[in-house]
Amino acid sequence: MNNIAGHRVMRRAMPRMAAAGVLAAILTISAPAQQPAPQLPEPAKTDPNVLGLMQGFPPPADKTVRLGDGTAWKFPMTRWSFSHMRELVPTAAVARGAGAASPLPRAERELDAIRFQTMSGEAMTFAEALAKTYTDAVVVLHKGRIVYEKYFGAGGTERPHAAMSVTKSFVGTLAAMLAADGKLEPSALVTKYLPELERSAYGDATVRQVMDMLIGVKYSENYADPNAEIWAYLRAGGMMPTGADYNGPRTFYDFLVALKKEGDQGVAFGYKTVNAEVLAWIVKRASGKSLADLLSERVWSKLGAEHDAYFAVDSVGTESGGGGLNTTPHDLARFGETMRNNGKLDGKQIIAESVVADIRNGGDKGHFAKAGYRTLPGWSYRNMWWVSHNEHGAYMARGIHGQNIYIDPEAELVIVRFGSHPIAANPFTDPIVLPAYATVAKSLME
């Protein structure tokens, strides 16, 4: 059960038995890994409105979602909390600016009935795929028009949702933008910007290695392991409750400086959220701006976003660059469309074309292959984006519990999806949504 990371598939096939263990571990946080096969709850029955979560003044005790008692991170309460993060933790606004929202024209298409085969050979419709993956919101843009959108559970057009690790792709894009401007030197050592990390895992790493997650650092993203560093990281960032006797780090900074080396730099892709936090720190030092202000200034205020986005912040106001961003589905679609248009939206070049091209070209496939993702064969990772290298040149931003920006340049397609899958591991959604997205792409090209 090693390496069930945020966006990782296990190195062997994913039988139901293994899924069981992960589910149980996630639900109880402390259960042993191997357990009997799980029956995932029927998604419609976990709709927070159906369950009556957080309804009434006050809500009944057993329907109340709190950060302090850990309920906010327990399924099915996550089906509410992922759409209400700012009500649980402090946040920093990513200002939209004062201008009007950019148009999102519509040209609706019936996509529900599109049929495809999952990676395990099961026949399924697109509508079934969305339901089975605990989708909260999905928006499909074709040639810049909304052809399809659906909301479930707590999701809605105006409702910001936790983007989870989709956040990392924003940090990677900002870093690449600063590099294109000559304000950040990817070939430099991390310590050029963060001398504090000299004695940490990052002491001999370059910025580029951080951007592409080629770092040898002792840090486990295995959500099924209660001793994995991901939990300590979340506690340091204020995103998980800490007991009364907690005396660990209370900021991302304090957590990062203590990370130890494990393995070599620059030889293998290793998906670790702390790399995104380190990159966010580098980006702040290089730009002199907070992540929220930089994202607002360089991207969000130029997109014609309808709403401020926001980051979860730690006890000293530091945005989580690893997973703290929350946006509405429409605004995330605007960003995806900007990427699809090689950095342009509404005639404005927001992100340099060379930055998008660098992402689309992808990273080193050999380095990536060493991580052993069964559902992502031939993929690579560049500037914190996941690149498929398929015949359409599709690439993705990917977050735990099923958050996606899927960009298919050949099909002129952008799919934005937010979800709240019970299991914190994309192997449970990838075998369904990746073939679904590819089939939607082909269908729209016909």
Could you list the residues that contact its own copies (CB under 8 A)? 54, 57-59, 64-68, 84, 86-93, 95, 98, 100-101, 158, 244-245, 250-251, 253, 281, 284-285, 290, 306-308, 310, 313, 315-318
What one-letter code names the amino acid at 134? Y
Q: Which is nearer to its own copies, 85 or 376 (CB)?
A: 85
Cis peptide leading into 76, omega within 30 of 0?
yes
Cis link prior to 58 (omega < 30° from 0)? yes
What's the closest the beta carbon of residue 25 comes to its own copies, in angstroms? 27
H/E element, 349: strand 348-349
Least distance to its own copies from the beta carbon of 379, Å?
Answer: 32
Query: Please, what is the minimum distance in Å from the beta carbon of residue 64 to its own copies?
Result: 5
Taking the complex as a whole, how short is the minimal distance between the CB of residue 63 and its own copies, in angstroms? 10
Nearer to its own copies, 254 or 364 (CB): 254
CB of 87 to its own copies, least distance (A): 5
User: Toward its own copies, which CB reaches closer, 20 or 282?
Assistant: 282
Burial class (CB in 10 A: 0-12, 13-18, 19+), 186: middle
Indicate the length of the chain as a whole number.
Answer: 446
Residue 87: phi, psi to the nearest 5?
Answer: -80, -5
With respect to its own copies, which residue has the nearer C-beta, 310 or 418? 310
Tokens at residue 229, please? 């560093």
The single-letter DSSP state of residue 406 is E
The answer to whether 186 and 211 are in contact (CB under 8 A) is yes
**Are 435 and 123 within 8 A, CB to CB?**
no
Based on CB atoms, which residue is closest to its own copies, 196 or 364?
196
Cβ neighbours of residue 268 closer than 8 Å, sequence gap 6 or more: 214, 367, 370, 371
Distance of alpha carbon 51 from the chain centroid = 26
**CA–CA gap between residue 285 and residue 304 (Å, rounded):** 27
Catalytic residue, chosen from 102, 165, 296, 320, is 165
Contacts of 289 (CB under 8 A, 6+ apart): 297
Shortest Cβ 255–its own copies spacing (Å)? 12
Cα separation, 208 vs 185, whole angstroms: 8
DSSP assignment string, 49-107: HHHTTT-SSSPPGGG---STTSGGGSTTTHHHHTT-GGGTS-EEEE---SSPPPP--B-
Cβ proximity to its own copies, 43 vs 238, nearer residue: 238
Structure-block tokens of residue 110: 């019936």
Structure tokens at 67: 């950060």
Return the closest-CA partner of residue 277 out of 195, 155, 171, 351: 171
Q: Is 165 noted as a catalytic residue in this protein?
A: yes
C-alpha dist (Å) from residue 95 to 281, 307, 322, 345, 399: 20, 8, 19, 18, 22
How far is C-alpha 386 from the geometric centre of its chain's CA atoms?
11
Q: Which is nearer to its own copies, 285 or 374 (CB)?
A: 285
Q: Closest separation between CB of residue 151 and its own copies, Å? A: 15
Pull the structure tokens for residue 211.
């951007």
Q: Which is nearer to its own copies, 94 or 214 (CB)?
A: 94
C-beta closer to its own copies: residue 265 or 301: 301
Task: Supply the minimum distance, in Å, between the C-beta of residue 177 and its own copies.
Answer: 18
Closest distance between its own copies and the C-beta of residue 376, in Å?
A: 33
Give catalytic residue positions. 165
